[in-house]
Amino acid sequence: MVAPWGVVTLPRFSRRWLLVAAGAAALAGAEVVRAAPPVGTPAAGSPEDLRARVLAASAGPYTGLAESSGRLGLPPLPQLESAVALVTATTRVRAFVASPDRFRVDELTPAGERGTYRRDGREYTWDHGFAQLTEVRADAPLRLPRASDLLPPELARRLLRLAPGYPATALPPRRVAGRDAAGLRIMPGDPATTVGAVDVWADATSGLPLVVAVSARADPGTPLLTTAFTEVEERAPDERLLFPRVPPGGGFVRSDADAITGALRGLDAPPPPERLAGRDRVSLAGAELPGVGLYGTGLAGFVLIPVSRDIADRAVDGAGAAGGVAVDAGRGRAVRLGTPLVTLAALARGRRRGVLLVGTVAGDDLDRALREIPDRRRA
């Protein structure tokens, strides 16, 4: 697709991305490289059969309106406000999904809409408030959490892919958006994760996910993040709706695919340790990012992101002001902030660098990881 408007190529990817990307891995689920476990043929109508149909139907097509509600208890953090709002407030989403590679999803706000488009191997974001369309990398292994991640089919796909070995049990059926929905519950058996239960209700016939609710281990009966369709149709959207257009007076910018790697490399961060807090580093899908590490398997994992000293200082100060606990990690300042579902830690060390850790693991694990991070520069 050739844009018929003026194009501005961004010379550098803003370093604020490095902070928000950390939240993406924990809250939206990082895409990782893992071998698929052996799968048998589940009995028809069983919870395992429903899980298989949910994963197949999540690809679409579908159109509809959904609403999510988050109560994760994260405080406002510097340059992470929009990402935190997705899991601490109510978000309304309009979806036009033809397939995982052809969709449009709009976050509806009182001020307008923020849209995400994906087609022809490219991804675009539209911000009504700034009247600007931005082309971004479609295959970034870590990225800013966005409203499309909260659609029931997408959130169900990500969470169930992270929990392939956990058994599924049946939940009572219910009516959702005028449809009969069958339910299943995944309860992680790993005591290291903060996730207590993942509940999914899907169309009883097609398997399309209609509701997803995530609870903490401390109280698996009380969802802290819930997303549900209020209206939904299982049909392909009009192709004209999937084409991003800029109105007269709007702007268009394009980010350089190599700028993310360049910004990370500019921090001069050392390679991530091969092991932290008793967990091996796992490979991210797509290109590896300098200094970034993902640790753990299933729903018990965390991500390490190198950031500038300025961002690290503000994260430490913000987490401390929100009730975070100071951690003795050797040289520098470190704070860990825990919520029932997500744990965050920040380390400011040296004149130029810092580190963020975010995950669905207990606070003690991130404390240990902070103490194990080597105090050295990239070789």
Residue 379: pLDDT over 50: no
Label the pairing between strands 251-255 and 8-10: parallel
> Is 228 in contact with 74 (CB distance < 8 Å)?
no
- Give the pLDDT band of residue 13 (cuts 50, 70, 90): very low
Q: What pLDDT score does 81 carry?
A: 58
Which pLDDT score, from 0 to 100, does residue 63 have? Answer: 98
Say what the pLDDT of residue 266 is. Answer: 65
Dihedral of alpha carbons 198, 204, 210, 211, sign = negative
Residues 329-357, mean pLDDT to the nearest whole number? 88
Q: In the predicted model, what is the mean pLDDT of residues 140-163?
A: 83
38, 245, 64: which is closest to 154 by C-alpha? 64
pLDDT of 170 > 50? The answer is: yes
Residue scoring higher pLDDT (49 or 78): 49
Give the model confidence (pLDDT) of 271-323 as tens digits: 899 999 999 998 876 556 778 898 988 889 898 988 888 888 988 988 888 88
Q: How confident is the model at residue 79 (pLDDT cuts 50, 70, 90)?
A: low
Q: What value does the mean pLDDT take over residues 51-57?
A: 96
Overall residue count recorded for the chain in this entry: 379
Given a cut of 60, whether residue 74 has pLDDT beyond it is yes
What is the rounded CA–CA span in Å between residue 3 and residue 299? 40
When mean pLDDT is compared over 13-27, 141-155, 326-340, the highest value belongs to 326-340
- DSSP 8-state secondary structure symbol assigned to residue 27: I
Give residue 42's identity as a one-letter amino acid code.
P
Of the pLDDT bands very low, low, confident and very high (cuts 50, 70, 90), residue 270 is confident
DSSP 314-330: HHHHHHHHTT-EE---S
Is pLDDT larger for residue 170 or for residue 301? Answer: 170
Query: Stretch 192-206: mean pLDDT, rounded?
Result: 95
SS3 content of the chain, % helix, strand, coil (to 5): 20, 40, 40
More confident call, 365 vs 283: 365
What's the confidence (pLDDT) of residue 11? 30
Residue 3 pLDDT exceeds 60? no
Q: How far apart are the first and last CA of the chain?
A: 41
Pair of tokens at residue 363: 């606070």
CB 106 within 8 A of CB 94: yes
| pLDDT in the model for residue 137 | 66
Greatest mean pLDDT range, 8-22, 150-164, 251-265 = 150-164
Calculate the average pLDDT of the chain: 81
Report how far residue 240's alpha carbon sits from residue 246's, in angstroms, rounded to the nearest whole number.
Answer: 14
Residue 44 CB partners (closer than 8 Å, separation 6+): none
With 90 as the cut, is the pLDDT of residue 98 above it? yes
Helix 16-23 and helix 309-321, axial crossing angle in degrees, nearest 10: 50
Q: What percent of the chain has pLDDT over 70?
A: 77
Q: How confident is the model at residue 244 (pLDDT cuts 50, 70, 90)?
A: confident
Average pLDDT over residues 216-240: 93
CA–CA distances in Å: residue 200 to residues 156, 315, 332: 7, 34, 43
Q: Which stretches of the chain are DSSP H helices?
A: 16-23, 47-57, 81-86, 152-162, 259-266, 309-321, 363-372
Bridge partners of residue 62, in order along the sequence? 97
Whether pLDDT at 174 is above 90: yes
Q: Which domains does the chain have, with CATH numbers?
A: 40-255 (2.50.20.10), 259-372 (3.40.1000)
Token duo for residue 129: 């408030």
Q: Is the pLDDT reported for residue 160 higher than 80?
A: yes
Angle value at C-alpha 17, between 71 and 267, nearest 5 degrees? 130
Coil vs helix vs strand at 354:
strand
Helix (H) or strand (E) run with residue 301 in it: strand 300-308
